[in-house]
Amino acid sequence: MLAAHQPQFAPWLGFFDKLDRADVFVLLDNVQFKKNEWQNRNRIKGAAGPQWLTVPVSGRFGQEIGELNIAQRENWQERHLKTLRTCYGRAPHFPETFARYQQLACRPWRKLADLNIGLLNDLLAQMGLAKRVLLASELGPLPENRDDRLIELCRKCGAKTYLAGAGGRDYMEMERYGAAGLEVVFQDYRHPSYPQLFGAFTANLSVLDLLFNCGPASMEVIRGGRAA
């Protein structure tokens, strides 16, 4: 089974559920960057509620994610570390989670995709999740049409099933997959709750929130949201 997704910054739990379920996971680093989505930012939780952790970028309209530069005009790493100390300094797994993020974020990153992929690999290592992760840009030419692109990725990787996000029901042209002999399975992820700082539980945050609060048990928590 194959799943694919844009390389997001410190993604939410459902991203890792999809990655965990797939035999092959493809990062779509050669699709267009979308402003104000999840490729260069995600939410964490502070005393006042959810807040953004953002990586500043510089580029032009229509640029692919893999081409996009991180803006060097500001020290975003220092801002991130200060925010994480404030939000999670009292979290049970702050020392080890913060140390790993600090070490990774403070490397001299130039490309957003490189940062996202490097961070993803480190997050997978923290959670003990070993998976085959490929870059779409390294798999040769792909069709422009969204569905045809995914079908071709399945063909190149030898997958007979495509694992789609729940929102795919609204836009996927299912007849294309059937004609290609592919089964489509839609993700049905029910966000689990876990111990959190600052009052009532808030869902759909970055996986960093989970790691600060649950540490080595994070993957077990993620799997707890999988529909039976």
Identity of the residue numbered 32: Q
Number of structural domains in the chain: 1
Q: Stretch 203-211: mean pLDDT, rounded?
A: 98
Q: Which residues contact 32 (CB under 8 A, 6 or more apart)?
A: 62, 63, 64, 65
Residue 228 lies in a domain: no
Would you state the pLDDT for residue 226? 66
Q: Which contacts (CB < 8 Å, 24+ apart) does range 149-153 have?
A: 150/4, 151/176, 151/177, 151/180, 151/182, 153/2, 153/4, 153/26
Residue range 83-119, pLDDT digits in tens? 999 999 999 999 999 999 999 999 999 999 999 999 9
Q: Stretch 139-167: mean pLDDT, rounded?
A: 96
The pLDDT confidence band at residue 227, using thresholds 50, 70 and 90, is: low
pLDDT of 142 above 90: yes
C-alpha–C-alpha distance, residues 93 and 113, integer Å = 27
Please, which residues bridge with residue 50 across strands? 45
Residue 112 lies in a domain: yes
Q: Which residues contact 154 (CB under 8 A, 6 or more apart)?
A: 2, 160, 161, 162, 180, 182
Please, which residues bridge with residue 45 across strands? 50
pTM: 0.94
Residue 135: CATH number of its domain: 3.40.50
Q: Which residues contact 9 (CB under 8 A, 6 or more apart)?
A: 38, 39, 40, 41, 42, 53, 55, 112, 115, 116, 119, 206
Percent of the chain with pLDDT over 90: 89
- Phi and psi torsions of 165, nearest 5°: -70, 160
Please count the other Cβ atoms lying within 10 Å of the Cβ belonging to residue 220.
13
Mean pLDDT of all residues belonging to the chain: 95
Percent of the chain with pLDDT over 70: 99
**Domain assignment of residue 185, given as a range:** 2-223
DSSP string, the chain: -EEEE---SS-BHHHHHHHHH-SEEEE-TTSB--TTSSSSEEEEEETTEEEEEE--EE--TT-BGGGPEEP-SS-HHHHHHHHHHHHHTTSTTHHHHHHHHHHHHTS---BHHHHHHHHHHHHHHHTT---EEEEGGGS----SSHHHHHHHHHHHHT-SEEEE-GGGGGT--HHHHHHTT-EEEE--B-PPP---SSSS---S-BHHHHHHHHGGGHHHHHHTTB--
